[in-house]
């Protein structure tokens, strides 16, 4: 009898937990887009003042994955990007501040906008809203090969990642997990900044 009660309780609590977590995921995914801001004309003119070459695209994406005040960044003053990319204007502005603050000369990116869930989670990734960029190389230093090394390139990566903490709300590096072994994920979503000890 006791066994039956215990296993029944277990069954109820585990289905409650999964129900609750799937509800929370749904709630987060529905609520997250409502917190997005595109920054309007002010963001566009700030980006222009920083010498960024870009095209305005207006609001893009879908109801699930809106990209507010999207811009197609085509170049920077004195900074070489591997190829053009699209970001929500406020994120493009944060990216520019980081690149200028860290005196980055060149970088390679692996993509920005992508309406998808985070790996191993039901939550929508910040890439869904054009508020994230993945970077695989900074000033010729390859994150996969040089992260954690004491070479000049390794130190340069650690330094630029630490500076990224001042500009982005989430900075994920090879230190964070296996999924980021070859790139920095930088986003302006809901985050607490850099909590990794590596970046202190
Ligand atoms: Zn990413």
- Kindly report, residue by residue over 115-131, the tens digit of the pLDDT: 999 988 899 999 999 99
- Residue 7 CA to ligand 1 centre (angstroms): 41
d(CA 28, CA 150) in angstroms, rounded, equals 40
Q: Which residues of the chain have pLDDT under 70?
A: 1-20, 195-200
- Residue 17 CA to ligand 1 centre (angstroms): 28
DSSP E strand boundaries for the chain: 53-61, 66-75, 80-81, 85-88, 106-111, 132-138, 141-142, 170-172, 184-187
- Residue 118 CA to ligand 1 centre (angstroms): 9
- Residue 55 CA to ligand 1 centre (angstroms): 23
d(CA 195, CA 46) in angstroms, rounded, equals 29
- Residue 186 CA to ligand 1 centre (angstroms): 7
* pLDDT tens profile 153-173: 999 999 999 999 999 999 999
Predicted model pTM: 0.87
């Amino acid at each position: 009898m006791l066994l039956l009660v215990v296993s029944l309780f277990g069954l109820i609590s585990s289905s409650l937990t999964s129900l609750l977590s799937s509800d929370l995921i749904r709630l987060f995914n529905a609520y997250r887009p409502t917190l997005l801001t595109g920054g309007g004309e002010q963001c566009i003119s700030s980006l222009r003042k920083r010498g960024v070459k870009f095209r305005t695209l207006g609001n893009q994406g879908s109801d699930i994955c809106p990209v507010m005040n999207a811009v197609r960044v085509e170049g920077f003053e004195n900074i070489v990007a591997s190829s053009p990319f699209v970001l929500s204007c406020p994120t493009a502005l944060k990216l520019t501040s980081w690149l200028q603050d860290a005196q980055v000369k060149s970088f390679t990116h692996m993509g920005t906008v992508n309406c998808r869930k985070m790996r191993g989670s039901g939550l929508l990734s910040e890439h869904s809203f054009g508020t994230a960029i993945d970077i695989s190389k900074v000033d010729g230093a390859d994150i996969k090969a040089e992260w954690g090394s004491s070479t000049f390139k390794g130190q340069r990566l650690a330094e630029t990642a630490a500076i990224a903490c001042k500009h982005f709300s989430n900075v994920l590096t090879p230190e964070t997990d296996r999924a980021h072994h070859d790139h920095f994920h930088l986003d302006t979503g809901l985050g607490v900044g850099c909590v990794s000890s590596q970046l202190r």
